Amino acid sequence: MTDPNFEHVIIDGSLLEGVRIVYFLLSFTKGGQILRNAVSLCVLAKKAVTIEKIRAGRPKPGLSPQHLTGLELAALISDAQLQGCIANSQQITFKPKCIKTGEFEGDAKTAGSVALLAQITVPILAFGQRASTLVLKGGTDASFAPPIDYLSEVC
C-alpha cells in the first residue's frame, strides 16, 4: 500500500472470547465473529488487519473450512492480499485494495453456514459501486449460526 493514510490494525482474536460486549465496533462472541467483523470493517475503512490468536479459546482453535471460504471470498471481493489463510491457522493478515463488483461464489465445502459467509461478504458488497451477485453454498440452518430464514425475513 502506498497510501500514507493506510493504517494497519492488529487484533487479538482471543480477547473477550465467549463474552458478549460491543467494543471498538466489533461484537466479540465465542468463535469466528471477530474474524468476520474485523475483516469486513477493515475493508470498508481501507485498513489492513492482522488477527492473532484466532479462536484461541476453542477446543479446535484456528481457522475452519468455513472461515477459509469467507476469508478467500472477502479477499476476492476486495482484491486483498491474504496471508496465513490455511486450515487451523491462528493468524491472518488481510490487506484490502478496493471493492470489486460482479458475480462471486463461495462454497463452504461442508455444512458450514451460508449466513456466516454472508456476514463477512454482504457488508463489503453493500458499498460496491454497482450491484453484485453473490452465490453461497453450504448449510442453511447450521448450529450456532443464524438460520437462513433470519437472513431472508429479518435482514
Note the pLDDT of residue 12. 87
Are 47 and 5 contacting, i.e. CB atoms less than 8 angstroms apart?
no
Note the pLDDT of residue 6. 62
Tell me which residue has cell 472461515.
67
Note the pLDDT of residue 53. 93
| Domain chopping of the chain, boundaries | 8-154
Count CA atoms within 13 Å of residue 131 on its CB side.
Answer: 1
Note the pLDDT of residue 19. 44
How far is the C-alpha of 110 from the C-alpha of 53, rounded, in Å?
Answer: 24
- CATH annotation of 8-154: 3.65.10.20
pLDDT tens across 85-140, in order?
999 999 999 999 999 999 999 999 999 999 999 999 999 999 999 999 999 999 99
Note the pLDDT of residue 123. 97
3 state DSSP class of 25: coil
pLDDT tens across 21-55, in order?
444 444 445 568 899 999 999 999 999 999 999 99
153 Cβ contact partners less than 8 Å away, ≥ 6 residues apart: none
pLDDT at position 70 over 90: yes
> How big is the CA angle at 98 (ends 113 and 88), to the nearest 5 degrees?
40
Are 49 and 81 contacting, i.e. CB atoms less than 8 angstroms apart?
no
